[in-house]
Structure 1
């Protein structure tokens, strides 16, 4: 880690401090991003690869406008900071589908103009998932209360009994579905493997919705998104007064609520040793104690787990119980990355296009050339990244047909234009005409420079300048 230093090195304390600071920043879980007054990136740490799918060396030295497509975030934060010259915090979605909370802090010089902007971004994808899971918990508790009181409940929130859609044109995905169909109506534990964004949770739901348990609850929990103490209480429930802050009436846990249904534990590799032991006991004996309880509770929940980690390696490293690994790995199904099943990309695109057209009441289509460009793209964020891009294209494209020209620059790295396509024309004239038409239409639709800037992925100052230019001209 550190290079060796002798006592003489400490005479040059600033260099040593710089080295230590560099090491800390490079190993920081959260993203640190710095730009100068020209909006050129001076520094970004390794977290950029997790947030955008891009290494620091691909980002450093570029200007913010160059990165609008490569590191696309919605909504944009830089135009707000540049205009208001104050600290701004926003929740953003990156181009690979990550949810991040970004705080931008402007550093002003004595003339009150921006010298630098420091961005601090934290991945809150798991937090957002946890919010959804906690909402599901409240709904499930409401259902349980209603059933105990004899109140009718249609159960739609808990078990919609409708099969989720899975695209399987490739032989690899057909094999995945074939395995899933063979395990639907047995009670064996299933371990689903695959990279982030490949649809492990969707496959778990597919197995449940096509099983004999489909009329009973399907409960999905992300083991990495909830702190250990809270996760134990959520999974197993607790008795009244068992810990500070506990409800007076106690609480029913997911294990009990999922009885006769399915409990899906995502990111199982992150489960603590204590909860690994407790889960092993439940799988073996179908019984458990609530937190602070002395009465054994029975459950018939089917357990499906998933991970994007090498669980066998975690066992070898002493981070995961071997006996639990064998219990979970009775049947394993590995979902290939989208890079390994290119045949599925066009039907996935059509699926998401229909989904977002319907959601936003639009009627977009995708050209053949655009489809081919997307099919050849390397999707580091898998289906999640693809879905995020299609939603963006549906929302931001004004034309009926989404074409190659509408794709972000990150998708168009290898695009080339033939000079023969442009004869006897003024490039500046064409650019200005297109720009004028686009700016006026955007302003008519949005009504403010900030919204125009967001729609066109340009700075707000540039949007204001162009609006003034073409309205007054």
Structure 2
């Protein structure tokens, strides 16, 4: 609206007929208010004089409310006062007002005496135009990216319309067919058949069957081509486009031949190594461990409880991790509880949680238990055989009811968990001795996985040593190697502590090694007081025979070879090891 005063009418003139003047002002008001753009004007003091309907709608204020108010109260960044005083227009400037983008034209208002009496701003909302412009830029970028992918594809790709007429093709299609795109674009299948481009049209079959079709065809120069044509439907279920993909089958046949040649070697390597690493470094080679892992992967797909048994250090927790990581709950929490590490008086509150004030020292807001933390995930109860009998009763109830009651509370809470249990104890004997509840045992032992001791699967020892050696070399930034004698010693050693003990032995050998190559003399004793090397020599009555033989071999290569590098190569040991041993025995060139 426009303030109905003499201001804004130009210079003061002779008064005309009042009715005519009123009509003119009303017409001007109507024109300004009907404008789609925002129109705002101020006088020299910055007070609002014009504020049209579009401005009212955008700012949410009526002209009557803002008339004669300082423009800064309504539109702080208008710059109208500066324009009025500077007399300089500001044309086609992008401005942001209330998170909308406008094209702003600000100009001084001049009366008929060329005096500046205020300023006016016309703001055109271009937010949608900017969005369209940005979207157009993105579409252009996508088209450019599509063209790059289209042209760089190894496969031939060509597009045809609903009648099979060729619309476009990439360079690979030109190469496979032996025709340029200029020769083929605009051609129909009948034309291409007549000219010998191909022996049959997969596009025609796709159009006829209204589904993806894959077939083989022959080109003019005798190539056998695998072609796949996929119809694209419009909103009326009519075929608007057919995407055709072709590949020279000769290349595939060559690859198949190469694969067949490699198949024997691959099977041989798989038979010798059979090393599979499942999550978190579960390394094995033996058939027994393959059975364990295969069973764990099968059980991952079902929601039943699983009992994992085996001696300490064999990797029961890793098997549990395989089950969780490959189950439908893999994105949920995996809570591991060592039942033997929780004090008996805290067991219930740790597992099931407690309410506020449940006991002295309890948190004011209470605490969720491990069952609650495992909701929609997996809970592993490790060392389940250490669970006290009174807790076994409460655990049985939680498993049966799928709910828990916090210590100090009465309200049961539903929990959705996958329950796994692990133990190194003989639970059947514990049941016979009334140390473990039979009903809980059957609840937890729906499926069972028994992990054999390391001594029962010695073929895993070498790959485990190699795995641990690689890991600790990286960890400690070393390049340690083990001699064949060391590997043999570890292979024969009685690993009562299983994989955990072997891992410890490898790490100790790496961190204490004096030379890049570790020999049996470098191995430190195990907790039993014997080194792995000593275990292998117990059957030998004269251990010193090894040293004597070693001296003889070193003396022999010293007499036959010119350099220590050549000597070490003959003996199959590291050069530094040879020099150290020669010095030890006082052997010189």
- Aligned to 1:318, which of 391, 411, 434? 434
Deviation of the 1:253 alpha carbon: 0.6
- Aligned to 2:477, which of 350, 355, 361? 361
1:75 corresponds to which residue? none
2: distance between equivalents of 1:318 and 1:332? 21
Distance change (3 Å), C-alpha of 1:351 and 1:248: same
Deviation of the 1:212 alpha carbon: 1.4
Distance change (3 Å), C-alpha of 1:288 and 1:402: same
Give deviations 1:178-217, integer Å, cap 9, x for gaps: 1101100211000001011111111111211121111111
Check if 1:165 corresponds to 2:294: no
- Aligned to 1:412, which of 513, 522, 533? 533
Distance change (3 Å), C-alpha of 1:231 and 1:210: same
Distance change (3 Å), C-alpha of 1:420 and 1:391: closer
Deviation of the 1:288 alpha carbon: 1.1
User: Secondary structure of 2:323's partner?
Assistant: helix
Check if 1:245 corresponds to 2:361: yes
Aligned residue pairs, count? 265
User: Secondary structure of 1:245's partner?
Assistant: coil
2: distance between equivalents of 1:259 and 1:365? 46
Range 202-211 or range 244-253, more displaced: 202-211
User: Secondary structure of 1:167's partner?
Assistant: strand
User: Secondary structure of 1:186's partner?
Assistant: coil
Give the 5 Å matches for 1:359-438: 359-409=475-525, 410=530, 411-413=532-534, 414-415=536-537, 416-418=543-545, 419-422=548-551
Give deviations 1:268-311, integer Å, cap 9, x for gaps: 01111221111111111111100011211111111100111110
Normalising by structure 1, we get a TM-score of 0.54
Give the 5 Å matches for 1:36-51: none
Deviation of the 1:412 alpha carbon: 2.2
Q: Is the 8 A contact 1:191 1:304 kept in 2?
A: yes
Deviation of the 1:168 alpha carbon: 2.4
Q: Is the 8 A contact 1:239 1:290 kept in 2?
A: yes
Check if 1:295 corresponds to 2:384: no
Distance change (3 Å), C-alpha of 1:420 and 1:317: closer
2: distance between equivalents of 1:423 and 1:258? 65
Deviation of the 1:398 alpha carbon: 2.3
Check if 1:217 corresponds to 2:333: yes
User: Secondary structure of 1:265's partner?
Assistant: strand
Q: Is the 8 A contact 2:431 2:437 kept in 1?
A: yes
Q: Is the 8 A contact 1:314 1:320 kept in 2?
A: yes
2: distance between equivalents of 1:184 and 1:338? 24
Check if 1:275 corresponds to 2:396: no
Q: Is the 8 A contact 1:288 1:296 kept in 2?
A: yes
- Aligned to 1:202, which of 318, 326, 338? 318
Give the 5 Å matches for 1:64-79: none
Check if 1:306 corresponds to 2:422: yes
Deviation of the 1:423 alpha carbon: 6.2
Deviation of the 1:417 alpha carbon: 3.7
Normalising by structure 2, we get a TM-score of 0.44
2: distance between equivalents of 1:178 and 1:249? 44
Distance change (3 Å), C-alpha of 1:243 and 1:365: same
RMSD: 1.9
- Aligned to 2:382, which of 247, 266, 272? 266
1:15 corresponds to which residue? none
1:72 corresponds to which residue? none
2: distance between equivalents of 1:179 and 1:206? 10
User: Secondary structure of 2:381's partner?
Assistant: strand
Deviation of the 1:424 alpha carbon: 13
Check if 1:348 corresponds to 2:469: no
For structure 1, the residue ranges without an aligned partner over 5 or more in a row are 1-161, 426-473
1: distance between equivalents of 2:459 and 2:410? 54
Distance change (3 Å), C-alpha of 1:421 and 1:367: closer
Q: Is the 8 A contact 1:163 1:210 kept in 2?
A: no
Give deviations 1:381-437, integer Å, cap 9, x for gaps: 111110111110110002112222211252222433432433699xxxxxxxxxxxx
Distance change (3 Å), C-alpha of 1:420 and 1:379: closer
User: Secondary structure of 1:248's partner?
Assistant: coil
Give the 5 Å matches for 1:7-46: none
Kindly name which structure, 1 or 2, has the bigger radius of gyration based on alpha carbons: 2
Give the 5 Å matches for 1:14-163: 163=279
Deviation of the 1:163 alpha carbon: 2.2
For structure 2, the residue ranges without an aligned partner over 5 or more in a row are 1-277, 538-542, 555-589
Distance change (3 Å), C-alpha of 1:349 and 1:294: same
